[in-house]
Structure 1
Amino acid sequence: MPISPNQGSTGGGTPVTITGTNLSGTTAVTFGTKPATAVTNVSPTQVTAVSPSGAGSVGVTVTTPGGTSNPIPFFYVGAPFKSSLAPTSGTLTGGNTVTINGVGLSTATGVSFGANTATPTVISDTQITVVVPAGAAAGPVGVSVTTAGGTNNGFSYTYVDAPTVTTVAPTSGPTSGGTGVTITGTNLGTTESVTFGGTPAPFSVVNSTTVSAVTPPGAAGPADVEVTNPAGSDTAVGAFTYVAGPGI
């Protein structure tokens, strides 16, 4: 007499289907010593019920006017606990793989990123991976993991759109570098690198629309300014001009 699923949350509330023979007139379904709720006799070979709260492994029995069945095992599973998620950001189009570590993850059936849910790959009871679904808009969303034991929230994942560079000021400075430059645009809050003519520059993120950088040394003439974040890059062609110093 199989039961499906054969595991559920310690808090109860798991709908189960029991199949067997001579199930007509079922009067009770019991999980260990506790009666199930919402018992429905679907047919002479099938009964549905909702598990009560419990812990560990218990025997499930069906009672009809003809007697009580042999017990079949049902396993109570605690809610999952998540300890880490990496990476914590990615492109708005999704498609990158995230690894989630924790405990109680072996029965994971879904990982939700905001309103969108993806099916994970279970590596072990302490680790799952999941391909991130596309996001609705750039910004942070809550991440929740659903297992047979319930749903656990608490992590955040940030969808990132590609940056755009609108202005670079000032637009010129000496070839020796050292010029403080303010770059404005959009989606700059997750900037990973800034380059002037292909040379990396030290920078700091001010906010989602502003990045401050210090020019590295460069050859005289115009240089492209490129800003990169996890979603991509944008280049302001010839936006900064290196000016050679005077010679006597």
Structure 2
Amino acid sequence: MPISPNQGSTGGGTPVTITGTNLSGTTAVTFGTKPATSFSNVSPTQVTAVSPSGAGSVGVTVTTPGGTSNPLSFFYVGAPFKSSLGPTSGPLAGGNTVTINGVGLATATSVSFGANTATPTVVSDTQLTVAVPAGVAAGSVGVSVTTAGGTNNGLSYTYVDVPTVTSVTPTSGPTSGGTGVTITGTNLGTTGSVTFDGNPAPFTLVNSTTVSAVTPPGTAGAVDVIVTNPAGSDTAAGAFTYVAPPGI
């Protein structure tokens, strides 16, 4: 006589299905010493029940006018605890893989990012990996993990849209570098790198539409300025011109 699922939350409330024979007229279903929160005799071969609260491993029995069945093992599982998530941001389109660390993750069945849910891969009781589903809009969402023991929230993930560069000011400076430049556009708040002609520039995030950068040394002529964030990159072609010093 099997029971499915055979594990559930310590807080109770797990619906289970018990199959067997001669189950007509079921008068009681017990989990250890506790009666089921509720039960229903579906057919002579099936009974459904809702687990009460409990802990550890208990025997589940079904009682009918003909007697009490042999016990089936049911395991109570505590709610998961999540300690960290990484990376904490990624593209609005999703598809990137995130690792979640914590405790009690072995029975995880789903991970929700806001309103969207994905099926995780269980690495161990302390770690999951999951492909992030596409987001609805750029911004932070709560992340929850559901296991046989329940659902736990508490972490957040930020969806990031691809940056766009609309202006670079000033548009020129010496080949020696050191020119302070203001880059404006959209989705710049999670900028991870700024390059001038492929050379990385030190930068400061001002807000979601502005980044301040300092030009690295370069070669005379117009060069591309590229801004990159976790969602991708945008290239401002020939947006900055390096000017050679005078020679006499």
TM-score calculated relative to the size of structure 1: 0.98
Indicate the larger mover: 85-94 or 42-51. Answer: 85-94
Indicate the larger mover: 5-14 or 170-179. Answer: 170-179
**Counterpart for residue 129 of structure 1:** 129
Describe the superposition over 1:73-98 as per-residue Cα deviations: whole angstroms up to 9, x where unpaired: 10000000111111111111111111
**Counterpart for residue 52 of structure 1:** 52
**Counterpart for residue 92 of structure 1:** 92
Task: Write out the 4+ residue segments of structure 1 that deviate beyond 6 Å after TM superposition.
Answer: none
Which whole-Å CA distance do the structure 2 matches of 1:155 and 1:37 have between them? 32
The one-letter code of the counterpart of 1:39 is: F
**Counterpart for residue 17 of structure 2:** 17
TM-score calculated relative to the size of structure 2: 0.98
Which whole-Å CA distance do the structure 2 matches of 1:193 and 1:234 have between them? 11
Which whole-Å CA distance do the structure 2 matches of 1:150 and 1:223 have between them? 54
**Counterpart for residue 81 of structure 2:** 81
Which whole-Å CA distance do the structure 2 matches of 1:151 and 1:44 have between them? 34
Match status 1:210 vs 2:230: no
Which whole-Å CA distance do the structure 2 matches of 1:129 and 1:224 have between them? 37
SS of residue paired to 1:105: coil
**Counterpart for residue 109 of structure 1:** 109
Which whole-Å CA distance do the structure 1 matches of 2:199 and 2:124 have between them? 43
- What's the offset of the Cα at 1:224? 1.1
The one-letter code of the counterpart of 1:43 is: S
The one-letter code of the counterpart of 2:211 is: V
Identify unmatched segments of 5+ residues in structure 1.
none
- What's the offset of the Cα at 1:65? 1.1
Match status 1:160 vs 2:156: no
The 5 A counterparts of 1:161-200 are 161-200=161-200
Match status 1:138 vs 2:134: no
The 5 A counterparts of 1:57-68 are 57-68=57-68
- What's the offset of the Cα at 1:246? 2.2
Which whole-Å CA distance do the structure 2 matches of 1:37 and 1:156 have between them? 34
The 5 A counterparts of 1:31-46 are 31-46=31-46
The one-letter code of the counterpart of 1:7 is: Q
Which whole-Å CA distance do the structure 2 matches of 1:193 and 1:18 have between them? 57
